[in-house]
Structures are given as C-alpha cells and as structure tokens.
C-alpha cells in the first residue's frame, strides 16, 4: 500500500500529495509532518532510528516523527504513529510548537524539508505504574524494529545539556526543536 504525504506550497497550504517512499530525495519538496516527544515524570523518551531508515539511520532523536495522510488531523497521526512505531497507546498529545518547520540535509544528500508541528505526549501515572518498578526508566516498550533500533529514558535537563554541548550526536530536528524555550520548559515540567 502506498503511503502518501501532503505537499505544501510556499504559504504553507496543502498542494497535492506524493508517495512517501519517493518524496525524500536531494530535492525534497516542502511537505507536512510532525515531531513527537514523550515524557513520563522527569524522563524523556529518546529513540535511535533504525539502521534501515533512509535518512539519519542510527541517529538518536525524539520519540517519533511521521507524516499526516491526506485529510488526516495531525494529532490523530501522532496517536497512530505512537502505536505503529512504539506499540504505545497514548493520551491526546499537546501541541507545543505549532509553527515549527525545518530543512536539513543528511550526509547522504537526502533532504528533509517539513512543516513539522511539535507535540508532547505526557504519559499518565497509570502507564508508568504498570512498569516493573513504577518508574519511566523501566517502562518497557516494544518498538517496531523497522522504525526504532533502541530507546532510552533520559532526564530532561541532561538531554538539553547534551544537545547543547554535542548537537552532532542527535538528529537536526531534535536540536532545532530544543532551541525553542517553549519546548524546553514543557519538557522540564
């Protein structure tokens, strides 16, 4: 089945669709996406992208990202992709950076060029309590190996410090997103 992404014009309005498998090239058109962060307590979920990913394989990043399909509400896409990538049932995500967009070029030359609102998923205490010892760092996930190589629960402040000190160790969108005080503050709560 072909997965479609929604293309955007220069004013940020929908302008057709393209096959997701073919849209990411050295000349990627502007399109719609989202980026999601997952927090439980003071821990933030980082994932290492699967080594089979076309862009930024094996790079540490926020919990998950994706592309809304034609006519799909972005918040609904966040919920769908949490299940697909992490096998995680999540509450309604909170929109933190509604106007975030970025353009980045992978070392292979493939471009990401996205209007990419940023969401925060705050897992409730009942999710964390179901973990083996009740803490987020022991929350066992069952990620899709085609999407996620591995994951780690990290302290929010330590992540911010690490991204500031070693931005090359993370995805470019993670670093750009963390440059916004609204996201930093939301992660620290």
At 173, which CATH number? 3.90.79.10
Look up the domain containing 54 and give its range: 4-188
pLDDT tens by residue, 103-152: 999 999 999 999 999 999 999 644 544 444 444 444 779 999 999 999 99
Least trusted range by pLDDT, from 64-78, 132-146, 162-176: 132-146
Q: What is the pTM of this model?
A: 0.92
Q: Is 176 a catalytic residue?
A: no
pLDDT band at 189 (very low <50, low <70, confident <90, very high): confident
- Determine whether the annotation assigns residue 176 to a binding site: no
Catalytic residue among 65, 116, 176, 177: 65
- Determine whether the annotation assigns residue 24 to a binding site: yes
Q: Is 158 a catalytic residue?
A: no
Catalytic residue among 114, 147, 176, 177: 114
* Mean pLDDT (the chain, rounded): 92
Transcribe the chain into DSSP letters.
-PPEEEEE-TTS-EEEEEEHHHH-STTPPPEE-EEEEEEETTEEEEEEEPTT-SSSTT-EESSEEE-PPTT--HHHHHHHHHHHHH-----PPEEEETT-EEEEE-TTS-EEEEE--EEEEE--HHHHHTSTTSSGGG------TTTEEEEEEEEHHHHHHHHHH-GGGB-HHHHHHHTSHHHHHHHH-
- Determine whether the annotation assigns residue 180 to a binding site: no
- Determine whether the annotation assigns residue 182 to a binding site: no
Give me the number of domains the chain comprises: 1
């Amino acid at each position: 089945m072909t997965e479609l992404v929604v293309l955007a014009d220069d004013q940020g309005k929908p302008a057709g669709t393209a096959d997701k498998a073919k849209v990411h090239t050295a000349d990627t058109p502007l399109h719609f996406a989202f980026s999601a962060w997952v927090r439980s307590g003071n821990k933030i979920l980082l994932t290492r992208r699967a080594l089979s990913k076309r862009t930024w394989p094996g790079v540490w990043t926020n919990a998950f990202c994706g592309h809304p399909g034609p006519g799909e509400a972005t918040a609904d896409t966040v919920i769908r992709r949490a299940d697909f990538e992490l096998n995680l049932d999540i509450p309604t995500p909170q929109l933190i950076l509604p106007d975030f967009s970025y353009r980045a070029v992978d070392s292979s030359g493939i471009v990401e060029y996205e209007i990419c609102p940023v969401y925060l998923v705050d897992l409730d205490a009942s999710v964390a309590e179901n973990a083996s010892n009740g803490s987020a760092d022991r929350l066992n996930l069952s990620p899709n190996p085609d999407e996620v190589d591995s994951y780690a629960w990290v302290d929010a402040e330590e992540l911010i410090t690490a991204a500031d000190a070693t931005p090359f160790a993370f995805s470019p969108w993670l670093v750009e997103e963390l440059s916004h005080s609204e996201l930093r503050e939301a992660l620290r709560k």
